[in-house]
Structure 1
Amino acid sequence: MNDQQQPRDIEGILDRAHLTSNRTAADRLAADMAALLTQYERETVARRALAGDPNPSDADPLDYVRTIADNYTRHRDLPDAESMYLELAAELTLDDARVIRLAAEAVAKATPRLIYLAAEEDGKTAAAIADELGVTESYVYRVLREQRAAESQPDGTKPWDAFWTIERWEDGRWHEFAAQSSRRMDTPATLAEYLLNREQEYAAEGARLRVRVWQFGTSETHPPLAEATTAQ
C-alpha cells in the first residue's frame, strides 16, 4: 500500500515545486516590470523638467490643500481637532501658510463669479452648487441675485436703456425741468457729463444744473447710476 502511494506523493511534491517555481518567476517578472516602469516614469519626468515643463509629473497642485481641507472637514467638530491643528502647524512653514492664506482670500473673492458661471453657463441648480461648494442654498441664491444685477449694469460695452433727468437749483432746492429716455452705448458717467455740458451751453449764466442717470425703469427704486452737477 505504501509502495503504491509513493509515486503519488512524489508527483505531488514535484507539482508543488513546479507551481512554486512558476510563482517565483512570475513575481520576479512583475518586480522587473515595476522597476522598468518606475525608471521610465522618472526619466520622463526628468526630460519634461529639462524641457521647461512646470508640472513634469502631472501632479495635482491642489492635492495637499485638499488633504488639509478634508482633514479639517472630518475633525473640526471632534475632540481631536486641536491635535490636527498642532500636526498641521508642525508640517507647514510660515511661507506655506502665507501662500495658502493669500490663495484662500483670492478664492473667496472669485467665488461669487464662480457661482454665477456655474449657474449661467454650466446650468447647475442652486442646490447642486451649494452642495459642491459646501455652502447654504440661501447663500447661493443671494450671490446669484447680486451677480445678475451687476451683470445687467451698463458698462459701455453693450446697449442699454437709459433714463435721465435734468434739474435746476432754484429757491434752495432742485427742480426737474427735463426728463428723457434713450438707448445708449456709452457709460452712465459719460452720458451724465455729456448732458450737463450740452445743457450748460443754453443755460443762463450762473445757473446751477444737475443731471442724474438711471437704467430705465429703476429711477423710483434705485439711486442714480451717475450724477453730474455744475460747479458752484
Structure 2
Amino acid sequence: MGEKRALLSDRWLIDQVTAVTQQFLRSLPGHNTPDTPGPSPAAGPGLSAETLTLAEAGRIRRAYKITEAALPRLVLEAAEDGREATAIARDLAVTPSYVYRILRERVRYTWRVDVLADDAWAERGAGLSVVERALGSKAALAEKILAETAPPHPARVLVWEGRRAADEDATHTLTRPEPGP
C-alpha cells in the first residue's frame, strides 16, 4: 500500500526480459533459440555485447532487477495454478532446484485491511506479500501491515495463504483493538 509503481509498461518489461533471455540462451553451447517476432523497443535484432549502448544496458539491468525481485511471486503463483516446478524453471530459465527452494522457503499471502464503520467492516486496502516461510509468518505479516497502514481503529487484517478467498477462509485474522459489544 502506498507504494509507487515504476513507470514501466508490462509490454516493455516483457520485451526486455525476452531480449536478455534470448541473448543468454543463444550464448549457451548447443542451443538454437530463435528470435521472437517483432523488434524490442530497447534492443534490435543485432543486440550483442559489442554493440550494446549505455542506455540499453541500463534499461536491461533495471528490467533484470525487477524480474529478479518478482521471481518468488511468479514461481508461487505458477505453482498455485498447478504448474510443475520443472515447467516453471524452464519458462523462467532457472534451475528446478531454484524453483523448489522458493517453494520450500517462501509463501505468498494475500491480505485485506478493513476498518469498522457504522457497525460493519469496510475494506480499506488489499495486497499481496511474499515472505519467508516460518512459524508465525502470517501473524508477523498482519502486525506489519497494521503498523504500516496505520488505519483508524478498530481495524482488522485478514490473511490468506495463496489467493484471496471468503472471509471465513482467512488463515489468520488480526483485529486491533477488539470491537466492543
Q: State the TM bucket, normalised to the shorter chain.
A: 0.3 to 0.5
Q: TM-score, normalised by structure 2?
A: 0.43
Larger gyration radius, structure 1 or structure 2: 1
Structure with the bigger RCO (C-alpha within 8 Å, sep 6+) is 2
Q: TM-score, normalised by structure 1?
A: 0.35
Select the structure that is richer in helix.
Answer: 1
